[in-house]
Amino acid sequence: MKAFVQVLALVVLTGSGFAATAVKVSFTLNTTDAYDNPLTQSRVYYKYRPDGLPTNTPLPMVLIMEAVADSGSADSVLNAKANAMGFVVVTCEFTGNSGNGGWKNDNPRIIGWEDYDYTTQVIAQVKASDNCNDVFITGLSKGGHMTWAYACEKPDQIKAAGPMDEFINLINNIPQKPVPIIALQGTADSNVPYTMTARAARTTATAPTTSQT
């Protein structure tokens, strides 16, 4: 958890400038629609593994839940930190889900497990391909919402979550168990009130920490 906090702090405080290369991974997701009918989707994620890291040593992975479809280049800052600290960066996309209009991350008992299944399969694949063990998840804005939602619905899949500039609707996404959270939120944000983020952190986290700016 301490290392995760350090990484997120570096991301917030450091400007972009590192031209990293991420590998695009395409796969078929077998999930369900809103009525629990079988649904097959073509999905992708981007994986960045620093050069020179031995595959026989387990590494942590950090999932970035992108708010918009991206080629992986938006995460160059975190890739640079991965080089320095030794972890795998995985950029996730909602591209390929129903409508391609955003993450499907409200109440999974109503709209199905679509993007939760996607995230879980990405974790499983990267664990297998890159010998990763501890999983951390983060995202900004709508990506932060997906971070909150996955932490609520699938806490056993992750070690900690770091949503940024977003809150969660605790009526739709009910925390299944406590999970370590570091929530980064500005008090001047009129679209995402700080008080709602703080409430979500208190409800979801074992040791909530919010950063006021």
Secondary structure (3-state) at 161? strand
The model's pLDDT over 72-115, given as tens digits with 9 standing for 90+, comes to 444 677 888 898 899 999 999 999 999 887 898 888 878 888 99
> How many domains are contained in the chain?
1
Confidence of residue 184 (pLDDT cuts 50, 70, 90): confident
pLDDT digits (tens, 9 = 90+) for 25-66: 999 999 998 888 999 999 999 999 998 888 888 999 999 998
Percentage above 90 pLDDT, the chain: 39
At 162, which CATH number? 3.40.50.1820
139 has a pLDDT exceeding 60: yes
DSSP letters, 112-158, are -SHHHHHHHHHHHHHHHHHTEEEEEEEEETHHHHHHHHHHHH-GGG-
Contact between 154 and 116 (Cβ < 8 Å): yes
Do residues 100 and 174 make contact, with C-beta atoms less than 8 angstroms apart? no
The per-residue pLDDT for 35 is 86
Q: How confident is the model at residue 154 (pLDDT cuts 50, 70, 90)?
A: very high
- Total residues belonging to the chain: 213
| Higher pLDDT, residue 84 or 125 | 125
Of residues 69 and 128, more confidence is placed in 128
Residue 199: CB atoms within 10 A of its CB come to 15
- Are 112 and 31 within 8 A, CB to CB? yes
Walk across the sheet containing 209-211 and list its strands.
23-32, 38-48, 88-92, 59-65, 132-140, 160-164, 182-184, 209-211
> 85 is in which domain, residue-wise?
2-211
pLDDT at position 174 is 81
Confidence tier at 155 by pLDDT (50, 70, 90): very high
Q: What is the pTM of this model?
A: 0.80
Q: What is the mean pLDDT of residues 130-144?
A: 92
Mean pLDDT of 143-167: 91
pLDDT confidence of residue 197:
54
* Residue 197 vs residue 36, higher pLDDT: 36
Among the ranges given (70-74, 81-85, 132-136, 165-169), the one the predictor scored with the smallest mean pLDDT: 70-74
Q: What is the SS3 assignment for 175? A: coil
